[in-house]
């Protein structure tokens, strides 16, 4: 580090200490061993450098030195005008305390003190012999200087005699600096208020945009339960409404089961006999899907699923096992991922056709994004506290535009009914028997329960209501779901396990395909105290170096 020593200022008696232990002075101009220091004087600067050993730790050092000829004596007052920290100190300092001890005591009315630097500092005349300057923090490359006037008789040996009356000019200069500092404080306060209003305004605006374009419509239906299917679209299409346009593997499972229920497919659990040594280990069970027919009134996503499974994946055009599906996902990752993305897009487009979502939301998004991206360049142009305020306001509006969504009036009416239907599926076993639909209807309900995430609960309750899985000569799933070792479902418990395994295998295949296909790219103001008249106050603008 270095100290400015412009003529006639001199620095002497420099020492460096740590924890009360003074380092050894090392004559010369090169570094010595740990625990030593050396000094150099050149180009009106006094340099000091010390050596120590440290590894990732905090150390505290004390520097003591004498500075001579820094006090000017005028005819009316003595003046100390000194820059304690210069603007070339490149490290932010959390807390700075400068304490000035006058050589003798004077009446506090005869002492005046000012500070120059950031406006949040404070200068205080503590008593008739002590003045302090405090600031927290002091930014890097920012100077801190102080100015004090006091009676001349406190420094009888001072050599800098000006022979002039200086106090009126000093007071006028500091008064001007104080006025400038106060104006700057006013500007800063105005800017802070403006920043707060910008952020508050963006929050209010975001709220009104949400209220106008994002708040769900109030539905007419407010019942707790809905005992029949709220609409006649497929479970995967219902999933688009249920999850705001998102499609999950459960929707594919539900579509397969629904196609089986409608007679297009037959689902069968079987033993592939792929065991390890002595029949130990290996895959214990698999699922076989048999194509019965592609006829009937099928939705586009159902047709695409059948075409993909039996025209692209299956080695036997009429049968497909999930082992084959998994192998295809591993070996034809791109094709599988492309199918999945296309299948999801088809369902998303179907959601638009069915008027699930409010088209006015796009207007709200345009407003929110437009205002947000308009504020971003303004944030770059601002050079004060308005910058983070503008960025925050822009972020609030952009996030609002991102999350803005709303179902249409038709969509919200359907949604609350599906929610009530889901609640009915969870609690129907607690109702009177005459309120419970027939077993054949539950085959239809079950496919929606898969998408709604309550299939396991539905099957458990069906086991309570229909212990033998039969009613009126109808066996649940008897024509479209076959379990290993039987000609029909052996139990609801076995069916629960099978649905879980089926969805798990579909999910695993999708994860294999999509995860693999998505990888592969590695890409001065000065501080002024006491209004210019001493007695302490706030830091103001202006000021220069040591005089």
**Strand partners of residue 283:** 274
Report the pLDDT value the prediction gives residue 516, as an integer from 0 to 100. 43
For residue 65, tell me if it sits in a domain: yes
Of the candidates 86, 81, 63, which has an alpha carbon nearest to the alpha carbon of residue 15? 63
Cβ neighbour number for residue 421 with a 10 Å cutoff = 22
Q: Say how far apart CA 344 and CA 262 lie, in whole Å.
A: 22
β-strand pairing of 474-475 with 319-321:
unpaired
For residue 504, tell me if it sits in a domain: no
For residue 199, tell me if it sits in a domain: no
Separation in Å, CA 461 to CA 25, 426, 449? 89, 8, 12
| Residue-number span of the structural domain to which 22 is assigned | 2-185
Give all strands of the β-sheet with 62-68 in edge-to-edge order.
21-22, 10-18, 62-68
Q: Say how far apart CA 499 and CA 250 lie, in whole Å.
A: 10
- Tens digit of each residue's pLDDT, the chain (547 residues): 888 877 777 888 999 999 989 999 988 888 889 999 999 988 888 899 999 998 889 899 999 988 888 899 999 999 999 988 888 888 888 899 999 999 999 999 999 999 998 888 899 999 999 999 999 998 898 899 999 999 999 999 888 999 999 999 999 998 898 888 888 888 888 888 989 999 999 999 999 999 999 999 999 999 999 989 999 999 999 999 999 999 998 999 899 989 988 989 988 877 766 544 334 444 556 788 899 999 888 999 999 999 999 999 988 878 998 888 888 888 888 899 999 999 999 999 999 999 999 999 999 999 999 999 999 888 888 767 788 899 999 999 999 999 999 999 999 999 999 999 999 988 877 655 545 556 667 888 889 999 999 988 888 877 776 676 665 556 666 566 655 444 444 445 555 556 667 777 777 777 777 664 443 333 323 354 343 334 343 444 443 333 3
For residue 211, tell me if it sits in a domain: no
For residue 434, tell me if it sits in a domain: no
CA-based R_g, the chain, Å: 41
Residue carrying the six token digits 């239809």: 444
Helices 333-353 & 235-242 angle (0-180, nearest 10) = 80
Which class for 12: exposed (0-12), middle (13-18), buried (19 or more C-beta within 10 A)? exposed
Report the pLDDT value the prediction gives residue 436, as an integer from 0 to 100. 55
Report the pLDDT value the prediction gives residue 505, as an integer from 0 to 100. 74
β-strand pairing of 265-270 with 160-161:
unpaired
Number of domains making up the chain: 1
The b-or-e profile of 109-125 (16+ CB within 10 A means b, else e) is eebbbbbbbbbebbbbb
| Cβ within 8 Å of residue 19, ≥6 positions away | 60
- Stretch (H or E) spanning 344: helix 333-353
Q: What is the pLDDT of residues 15-72, one digit of tens each?
A: 999 998 999 998 888 888 999 999 998 888 889 999 999 888 989 999 998 888 889 9
Report the pLDDT value the prediction gives residue 512, as an integer from 0 to 100. 74
For residue 486, tell me if it sits in a domain: no
Report the pLDDT value the prediction gives residue 369, as an integer from 0 to 100. 96
**Strand partners of residue 127:** 130
Q: What is the pLDDT of residues 484-530, one digit of tens each?
A: 444 444 445 555 556 667 777 777 777 777 664 443 333 323 354 34
pTM: 0.64
| Cβ within 8 Å of residue 135, ≥6 positions away | 95, 96, 117, 118, 120, 121, 122, 144, 527, 539
Q: Say how far apart CA 199 and CA 394 lie, in whole Å.
A: 9
Of the candidates 260, 269, 341, which has an alpha carbon nearest to the alpha carbon of residue 304? 341
Nearest-5° Cα angle at 347, 230 to 287: 90
Report the pLDDT value the prediction gives residue 483, as an integer from 0 to 100. 54
For residue 40, tell me if it sits in a domain: yes
Report the pLDDT value the prediction gives residue 342, as an integer from 0 to 100. 96
For residue 300, tell me if it sits in a domain: no
Q: Say how far apart CA 380 and CA 387 lie, in whole Å.
A: 7
Q: Are 234 and 418 in contact (CB under 8 A)?
A: no
Q: Say how far apart CA 331 and CA 444 lie, in whole Å.
A: 35
Tokens at 376, concatenated: 């971003």
């Amino acid at each position: 580090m270095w100290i400015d020593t412009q003529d006639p200022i001199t620095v002497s008696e420099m020492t460096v200490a740590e924890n009360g232990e003074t380092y050894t002075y090392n004559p010369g101009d090169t570094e010595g061993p740990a625990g030593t220091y050396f000094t150099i004087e050149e180009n009106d600067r006094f340099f000091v450098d010390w050596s120590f050993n440290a590894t990732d730790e905090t150390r505290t050092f004390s520097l003591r030195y004498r500075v001579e000829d820094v006090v000017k004596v005028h005819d009316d007052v003595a003046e100390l005008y000194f820059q304690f920290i210069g603007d070339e100190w490149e490290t932010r300092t959390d807390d700075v305390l400068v304490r000035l001890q006058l050589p003798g005591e004077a009446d506090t009315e005869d002492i005046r003190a000012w500070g120059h630097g950031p406006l949040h500092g404070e200068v205080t005349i503590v008593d008739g012999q002590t003045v302090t300057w405090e600031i927290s923090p002091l930014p890097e490359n920012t100077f801190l200087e102080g100015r004090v006037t006091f009676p001349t008789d406190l420094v009888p040996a001072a050599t800098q005699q000006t022979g002039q009356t200086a106090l009126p000019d000093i007071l006028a200069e500091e008064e001007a600096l104080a006025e400038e500092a106060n104006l700057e404080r006013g500007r800063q306060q105005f800017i802070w208020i403006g920043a707060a209003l910008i952020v508050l305004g963006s929050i209010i605006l975001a709220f009104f945009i949400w209220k106008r374009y994002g708040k769900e419509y109030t539905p007419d239906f407010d019942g707790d339960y809905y005992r029949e299917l709220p609409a006649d679209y497929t479970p995967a299409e219902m999933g688009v409404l249920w999850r705001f346009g998102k499609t999950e593997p459960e929707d594919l499972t539900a579509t397969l089961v629904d196609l089986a229920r409608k007679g297009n497919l037959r689902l069968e659990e079987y033993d592939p006999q792929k065991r390890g040594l002595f029949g130990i280990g290996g895959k214990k069970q698999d699922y076989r899907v048999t194509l019965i027919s592609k006829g009937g009134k099928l939705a586009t996503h159902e047709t695409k699923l059948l075409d993909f499974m039996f025209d692209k994946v299956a080695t036997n055009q009429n049968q497909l096992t999930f082992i084959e599906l998994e192998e295809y996902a591993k070996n034809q990752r791109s094709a599988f991922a492309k199918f999945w993305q296309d299948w999801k897009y088809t369902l998303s487009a179907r959601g638009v056709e069915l008027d699930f979502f409010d088209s006015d939301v796009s207007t709200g998004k345009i407003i929110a994004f437009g205002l947000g991206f308009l504020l971003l360049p303004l944030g770059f142009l601002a050079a004060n506290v308005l910058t983070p305020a503008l960025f925050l306001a822009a972020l609030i509006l952009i996030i609002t535009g991102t999350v803005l969504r709303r179902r249409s009036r038709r969509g919200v009416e359907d949604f609350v009914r599906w929610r009530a239907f889901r609640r009915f599926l969870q609690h129907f076993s607690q109702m009177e028997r005459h309120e419970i639909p027939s077993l054949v209807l539950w085959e239809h309900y079950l496919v929606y329960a898969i998408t709604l995430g309550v299939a396991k609960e539905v099957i458990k309750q069906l086991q309570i209501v229909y212990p033998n899985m039969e009613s009126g000569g109808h066996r649940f799933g008897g024509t479209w779901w076959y379990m290993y070792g039987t000609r029909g479902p052996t139990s609801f418990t076995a069916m629960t396990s099978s649905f879980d395994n089926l969805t798990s295998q579909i999910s695993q295949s999708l994860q294999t395909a999509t995860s693999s296909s998505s990888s592969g790219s590695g890409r001065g103001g000065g501080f002024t105290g006491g209004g210019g008249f001493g007695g302490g106050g706030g830091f103001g603008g202006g000021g220069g170096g040591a005089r």
